[in-house]
Structure 1
């Protein structure tokens, strides 16, 4: 029997503009907005709280650990509360990865990304207002870290995140592993922050970078926090689609993932 050569991204679905008006798609986008708001508020807020407690001192190992815990736990909750509505992407890179695998249409994905970005902005505005005008800090590169270093870091870290999403949430064969998807996704983000947070902030998520950048109006090297996660998501989706996913099983409907 001849070997079957798998072609990645063969299941891409673009959908149509009418999806934007469908109540289900709008509800899903709203769920993404709220989940991202919860996630960014917890993560960004932990950094602001640490800065206040230390008088604005530079990041320390304790600060890195607190950020990892806040973002990891915040993402665990964010994914969990929207999983049954939108699939709990909470990240434009995850949405792009899901789209490339044919698990969400282009138009529905765009709604998700808009919701995620707006949720991040609202979270940062709420933090600024509720902390007496404290500045939300845009992600930045540490001293001695070049934009290309950060670009590679973001690719690798986002690859791990989106690969985890594929293995625990998207793969039709996931079985009972799907029940731990929010935990696994939160843990990989926390672990990556411990690994890369001291170098470039460890975004892995354009929405995490976008909200603070808008509210503080700081755009230095901002492109890294979009390009790196998107490339990492594309590679992760391609690897999983080519080598591991089996579409002979029942696929996850786009409206469910």
Structure 2
């Protein structure tokens, strides 16, 4: 059972050069992802005088986030595993591929990367704010939680299938593309309802900069539940437990 392989680690991990480099890689990857993803929405709104909520705006956001995540995962893959998402890190932790203390280090770096990206966007755009994620009219918090659970399940399941599974073979080469594609597709599916976060850090940065926390817990609970379920399902059903030891962090 994957739950039996969960490791706490030690506080000393935070001072190891390898762990620090991995955290810095996560910070940079998250900054790249959020700056491009959130920035694309701000740019579209500026060009269309606030039309970011249109179908064209949704497609623009989907493409921008898919491209940006593909790059962010790719540039961090050989250093930190290219998680670029606290929910992905949590899924890796549940599966026994990363310790709790290393996960906490990643989470801090990911959240800081998102906040810094949003601050840079605010400065670079002359004071425009990155809008916090919000629920659309008629969408309840529990509707949104289900959306986030299902979308993040799809994302983390894709991560496991293409990057974590030791039997992945050549398919591991296209992992960043597949991960970017599933995020882009999920934005098309859920963006009009709750913004389609799938990533607590992506929601956290705009919330901090705009200081808007309405229903913010949705964007933590949903992704973490979805990631945990995906990790357990893939580990139990498709990874050979008897012959599978804990993977190094740099290989997800």
> Which TM-score bucket, shorter chain as reference?
over 0.9
Find the aligned partners of 1:198 and 1:206 in 2 and give their Cα distance. Answer: 18
Judged with a 3 Å threshold, the aligned counterparts in structure 2 of structure 1 residues 32 and 58 are, in CA distance, closer, same or farther, namely closer
Q: CA deviation at 1:249?
A: 4.7
Structure-1 separation of matches of 2:211 and 2:179? 29
Choose which of 241, 248, 251 in structure 2 pairs with 1:253: 248
Map 1:22-101; keep pairs closer than 5 Å.
22-57=16-51, 59-101=53-95
CA distance in structure 1 between the aligned counterparts of 2:231 and 2:168, rounded to whole angstroms: 16
* Number of the residue aligned with 1:215: 209
Give, in angstroms, the shift of residue 254 of structure 1. Answer: 2.7
Q: Map 1:1-257; keep pairs closer than 5 Å.
A: 7-57=1-51, 59-247=53-241, 248-249=243-244, 252-257=247-252
TM-score (norm 1): 0.96
Could you say what the CA RMSD is over the residues aligned between the two structures, in angstroms? 1.0
CA deviation after TM superposition for structure 1 residue 158, in Å: 0.2
Q: Which whole-Å deviations, capped at 9, do the CAs of 1:13-63 have from their partners, x for residues lacking one?
A: 111011010010000000000000000001100110011111113511100
Once the 2 structures are TM-superposed, how far is the Cα of residue 242 of structure 1 from its aligned partner? 1.1
Alignment length (residue pairs): 251
Structure 2: how far apart are the matches of 1:114 and 1:154?
21
Q: State the alpha-carbon separation in 2 of the partners of residues 250 and 12 from structure 1.
A: 11
Encode CA deviations 1:106-143: one digit per residue, 9 max, x unaligned.
11111111000000000000000000000110010011
Match of residue 4 from structure 1:
none
Q: What are the ranges of 5 or more consecutive residues in structure 2 without an aligned counterpart? A: none
Using the alignment, how far apart are the partners of 2:244 and 2:201 within structure 1? 33
Quick check: which one's helix share is greater?
A: 2
TM-score, normalisation: structure 2:
0.97
Q: Distance in 2 between matches of 1:25 and 1:89?
A: 14
